Structure formats: structure tokens, C-alpha cells
Amino acid sequence: MIEIKVFETQQEIAAYAGEVYKKLINEKPHAVLGLATGSSPISLYKRLIELNQAKEIDFSNVVTVNLDEYVGIESTHSQSYRYFMNEQLFNHINISKENTHVPNGQTQDLEHACHEYEEIIDQVGPFDIQLLGVGVNGHIGFNEPSLTLNSLTHIEDLKTSTLEANARFFDSIEQVPTKAITMGLGPIMKSKQVILIATGESKANAIKALTTGIIDPQCPVSFLQLHPNVLVLLDTAAAKYV
């Protein structure tokens, strides 16, 4: 079931989602959170930092599992997703870094890295909340539009539209890694709740695919229509067609 809520600002989205996380973690201190990178969750992460600093959320027993990581850049690179998570959230809350998981995109043995991540997901899952953004092309995690989708952690060739969208974080499009290691759709669909945040008109088409009843691997976000508990938090621009 998909519940869509529309807000005026990212701060209002963050305030609303922050209360959902506060309730969960206060009731379940060992909660397991699936997390995302990118622009969409940044305001929420700021809110979670505020709530932690105000002692309204205690992250000391929380476990996190991130969706994805670029292949071929060091975890210390300013655009790696491990670096992003440390900078945007983990360094500012009382979480134990050993409880935070991001796929390993730096190894030569990527197949092993995928197996290793799948084992972590099996050990700590199912996630209480999986947080998602959505690509302009409908990708979730880095599960790109395709004839078939993978339920397990795998290596994905990023589509041109994704490289173009992510070029804003790099000096040039040539520097954007062309491959990523990503969680498959399995753990996303098994998570107890999904929270998807999308803002801006560029996401409006992808969001529309959540309302059509059609499940299409060429638009991976459409699979969320099969999930029993999805909360979609939008600004008015992203909600243009819903």
C-alpha cells in the first residue's frame, strides 16, 4: 500500500519523517535502518542529527545498511557514499561505526563483495525502514531500468541519465564512476516499511509510476506498488502528476 504526502518544503518533509524515525527508535532501540545517499535524504539527516543532539533519539544500538556505493573510488574520496554517510550523518550522531554498513566498491573481487554484503543483509535484516530516493529514470538504489531486475546485491552499469544526474557532484561527467555495487530489490521489498523522499519536477514522472498499477522493470520504482507499507514524501513539484 502506498501513502503519498505532499509538503511545501524539504524541511517539512524532514520534520515529518524525523518523527517516524523517532517513534521507531524509541520503541525499538536496536532498529535496523536501510539508508540512502544523494540529495533527497540530506534534510532528513540534518533533522536526525538535531533530534540526536536534543537527546530525543539514541542511535547507540541502531544498525544501518546503505543501498549502494560507487565502484572504483576510495572510501575516503569526497564523492564516495561511505564518505557521504560519515559527513552527512554518522560523524554527528552517537552511532557506533561498526554498526554502519556500506557496500565495498574498492575491492578487486567485486563478486566476493556482493556475497559479503548479502550475508550482512541476511544477518541484520529485515530492515525496519528502508529509506529511498528515486532516480529521474525510476531507479531505486542503483537498480537501473532493465529488461530484468536482480533481487540480490550486484554490480550495475550506470545509465547515461544517472551519470548526467550525478555529474553535479563531480568536476566533470568523465569523473563519475560508471559502475556501482547496489543492493537488489529483495531487501527493499522485504523491509517492514519503505520511506521514499522525492523533490523537484525532474522526479514527477518517476513518481507517477507509483500510481499506475503497472509493474515495469524499465521503471524499477514501480515495484514498490507491490510493497505493503510505503510512505512517499514529496514536494509539490515532484507531486505534479499524482
Positions that interact with ligand F6R (CB under 6 A): 36-40, 67-68, 133-135, 139-142
Q: Which is nearer to ligand F6R, 53 or 91 (CB)?
A: 91
CA–CA separation, 211 and 68 (whole Å): 26
Give the shortest CB-59-to-ligand F6R separation in angstroms. 19
Side chain identity, residue 8: E
Q: Which is nearer to ligand F6R, 56 or 167 (CB)?
A: 167
39 near 10, Cβ under 8 Å?
no
Q: Which is nearer to ligand F6R, 14 or 67 (CB)?
A: 67
Q: Which is nearer to ligand F6R, 32 or 140 (CB)?
A: 140
Give the shortest CB-61-to-ligand F6R separation in angstroms. 24
Active site residues: 68, 137, 139, 144
Nearest Cα neighbor of 175 from 73, 90, 64 is 73
65 near 32, Cβ under 8 Å?
yes
Which residues, 6 or more positions from 71, have their beta carbon under 8 angstroms from its beta carbon?
Answer: 105, 110, 155, 177, 179, 180, 181
Question: How many other CB atoms sit within 10 Å of the CB of residue 105?
Answer: 24
Give the shortest CB-55-to-ligand F6R separation in angstroms. 28
Residue 45, C-alpha cell as written in the block? 539527516
Q: Which is nearer to ligand F6R, 52 or 130 (CB)?
A: 130
Question: How many other CB atoms sit within 10 Å of the CB of residue 48?
Answer: 26
Residue whose C-beta lies closest to ligand F6R: 133
Give the shortest CB-57-to-ligand F6R separation in angstroms. 21
Strand boundaries in 54-212, DSSP class E: 63-66, 68-70, 100-101, 129-132, 154-157, 179-182, 193-198
Give the shortest CB-93-to-ligand F6R separation in angstroms. 18
